[in-house]
Homo-oligomer: A and B are copies of this chain.
Amino acid sequence: MIEKTKSSKKIYEGNFISFYEDEVYLPNGNTSQRVVLKHPGAASILAITKDKKIILTKQYRYPIQKISLEIPAGKKDHPTEDGLTCAMRELEEETGYQSSNYKKIFTFHPAVGFCDEVLDIFIAYDCEKIEKPASPDADEFIEVEYIERSQINNLLKSGAITDGKTIIALQYYLLHE
């Protein structure tokens, strides 16, 4: 079933993403083309406060040209960065919360057809607001929103939440918590 690289052409190298057009050998010996977006990986976190509120972020997502309601998340600083370090940094920067009670719930591929990104999802309990949190990146404009467990089904069914990682995390919460 495996496809082997015949040749690989780098099309683009950006700050964190690079883009390749490869020619591959198919299992039957024929060749085909594959495009691959190379991504450093990312981490995200389903963060729950002491009073059981779920902490979400609201931000404009330029690629989809929409404001999106999501769990806190961000790219790894480098491909070998630990997912938990990344998730906790994003939680603090984007929402001002911290937690010391957490576990990993998923490591998944958001877009297997054209991207090598691996995305971790953690769940963090008993999150508490800290006094002087780190700031978000200079190009991030983020609002915090709190939802209750009882709102999840409606937010998913109505299409108010359309972000893949956030759907996975919230469904997990309904199933297991």
Give the interface of A toward B (CB within 8 A): 1-3, 11-12, 14-15, 17, 19, 21-22, 24, 26-28, 30, 32-37, 39, 42, 58-65, 67-68, 70, 75, 106-119, 138-139, 141, 143, 156, 159, 162-165, 167-168, 171-172, 174-175
Given contacts A3-B62, A108-B162, contact A139 B32 (CB under 8 A): yes
A86 CB to closest chain B CB, in angstroms?
Answer: 14
Q: Is the beta-carbon distance between A61 and B113 smaller than 8 angstroms? A: yes
Q: Is the beta-carbon distance between B112 and A111 smaller than 8 angstroms? A: no
A177 CB to closest chain B CB, in angstroms?
Answer: 13
Q: For A24, A109, A139, A172, which residue has the most chain B Cβ atoms within 10 angstroms?
A: A109
Q: Is the beta-carbon distance between A109 and B164 smaller than 8 angstroms? A: yes
Q: How many copies does the complex hold?
A: 2
Q: Is the beta-carbon distance between B33 and A109 smaller than 8 angstroms? A: no
Query: Which among B24, B59, B163, B165 is the interface contact of A1 at CB below 8 angstroms?
Result: B59
Nearest to A139 among chain B residues (CB) is B32
Q: How many Å lie between the Cα of A107 and that of B158 in the bound state?
A: 10
Residues of B within 8 A of A64 (CB): 109, 112, 116, 118
A175 CB to closest chain B CB, in angstroms?
Answer: 6
Given contacts A26-B139, A109-B68, contact A63 B11 (CB under 8 A): no
